[in-house]
Structure 1
Amino acid sequence: MKIPQYARYEYCYTKSCEFLEEFEIKAFPINVLEIVHQQKWGLVSYSEIMHKFHCDRKTVIRILGSSDGYTIWDGTNYSIAYNDDQKLGDRTRFTIMHEIGHIYLGHLLDFEATKLYRGSLTKRENRVLENEANAFARNVLSPVSMYLTLKNKSAINVARTFGITTTAAEARIDFINRDVELVRHLKLSEKIMLVYHRFMKKRKCIMCDAQFFQKYKYCPICGNKNSLQWGDGKMIYPKLETYEDGKLKECPICQNEETNIDGDHCIICGIPLVNICSNEECSHQVLPSNARYCPICGGETTFYRRGILKAWDYDEDNLPPESGFMNIPDTAMYIPDIDEELPFN
């Protein structure tokens, strides 16, 4: 396949939406290092290369043929190198996402000219691929839906909000009208708005540090009332694997795997296979398999009451000898009301 004559901006924008959806981006600035780690790609800074091979930065730039970053495919995995020179400013996030763009857009696999060495490209070919990677990085790091909701759209605030340089922020501002038109033309408005909704619906519990994407009244993990506020939680409490209707795929007590049948109880040991609120007056239906409490009324769930789930702060290594579970107070700790006004400036 030959490198196209012009940058495929429609393709780049579609792929950026797919990327935001695939990685469920919901926090800004985006943690690009975490994405690289998840994909198990190699990542090295120019400084590390300089130290390993006892050379200066100019030599690294000359050998790699790039003053910003470079990506190679060795037939098995990708490896990204990026220029971490502090004189360049805070360019690391954009540089790495730019290189991810080369990967995600198929630049290193789709074109014969790039399979061996990107440095062999003509200036025109290189410019096309660089423009595509820039468009991808811009629309991932600062999606249209997120930019448009900013109250302060100055380059300085855009740079601070999305963790990019003021130069990259100015490019985002300059290209916003064209990117908006592309969203409409490609009929991606609904998908790109999902990024905004994921961001706005974030909730964290300040007691157990759980993270959610619904506005609950009670924390479904620790049961505290008024402990949920906007933001990113750090703790992810594992869920038991379920079918789409919320029924467990395997009984947690007897390990019976024949659960995709009529009824909500295990046919071997009789344990409930669907997690619901134990309060009969509560209208809430099926709950997540890791919920200890109902997020609507605060009542205990069937999984928690039957011992399938332990208390959120259960510590197996520090239990008193006479107890199988930690003693949890009958009443939830009081926490004053929290102002939930979102801090998106």
Structure 2
Amino acid sequence: MTKAELYHQISLLRNRLHIRHYPIESIRLCRTNGIWVGPMPMKTPGLRGMAFMGHNSSEQDIILLKESSSAKENNFNCAHELIHLTLHRNNPKKTFQCYESVRNTQNSFEEWQANEGAAELLVPYRFFIPRYVELCRKHRFDRESKVVDELADEFGVLPGVIAFRIDNLNYEIACYLAGTPCEQLPLLSATEQKKRQIKVLHKKHYCVHCTAVISPSQAFCHVCGKTMRHPSTAFNSPKYGAGYMKYSKIEMDENGRVIVCPRCGNEEPFPAGGHCVICNAPTENTCLGEYDDTYSPQRSGPCSESKKVHLPGNARHCPFCGAPTSFQEAQLLRPWQEELQEEMRRTNSRQLIQIADNQEEDFPFCYPSDDDDFPLSVS
């Protein structure tokens, strides 16, 4: 059973149990659906729960939970046992003893199914991923633990379960941040990713002011122009996490020139350091430098560092000195504030969350990529 197949089974279970609201109280859910659930003092080290299948339709299924565990711990433990009772019904084995870590006497694949299935039941990826990204952006000036704690409270689980979800949904989060809607995310386990030689991390360095993906070595953000190195404003330092967004950019060739004029659509070859012959728009994104003095209308010209590289197609500011770029001056790029507000509205988790697991729409698929705008290409 693949991760996608497992999640489909959890979707069927969710629909069969008429789950429409979160957070889930798994103990109440099981009792409502005819499963006997009760506490039990468990003295065996690491033992956290047990499940017993009724031998026929007249016998009741039973779940026993460690009585000394917290409510949030047993919320997950009960869901774990419920997945055993649901997915492993046809197994010869009718009793399951579950521990904090898998033991040699257990079926490791069945335990993976129960753990991953319980996590998906309590923290559905379609709810979780947009909410996780939204909170990372909201709390981009705070520690990541604040995001984890808030999500744990929202879903009624321990912070460890949220950390487990962040880790196990790493690839799916990366796809979402690359532009793939939740309904079309590829669901791949770590084993499946390894077989396909997929190596990607959803976390990147980004500017906390505008959330643009940046290089940690940049002196200034190339989108909003904020300094990254001011000693008294540590909150402006690059952050590593999932709170970023990718801004629109003008496509450039390997020589750092536009492929198509962004203003008039001219596709004729452009000379080095030139302008479009039709509309006079700049064909290279360069640092304009600062004004010579307060009375001079002339720029000082590109800073020395920017002359060594091609500035990317989304740079509004020079990453070395913070001065405006030629694309910014010519108004070829949208104001970053507009794009940020639009993205915040688009990814509002309250609007995105939908229960319809059988929804099928034709959405574009966007694979995650480590091909960021930085490091800069050398000219």
Report TM bin, short chain.
0.3 to 0.5
Larger relative helix fraction: 1
Q: Which has the larger radius of gyration?
A: 2
Question: TM (normalized to structure 2)?
Answer: 0.39
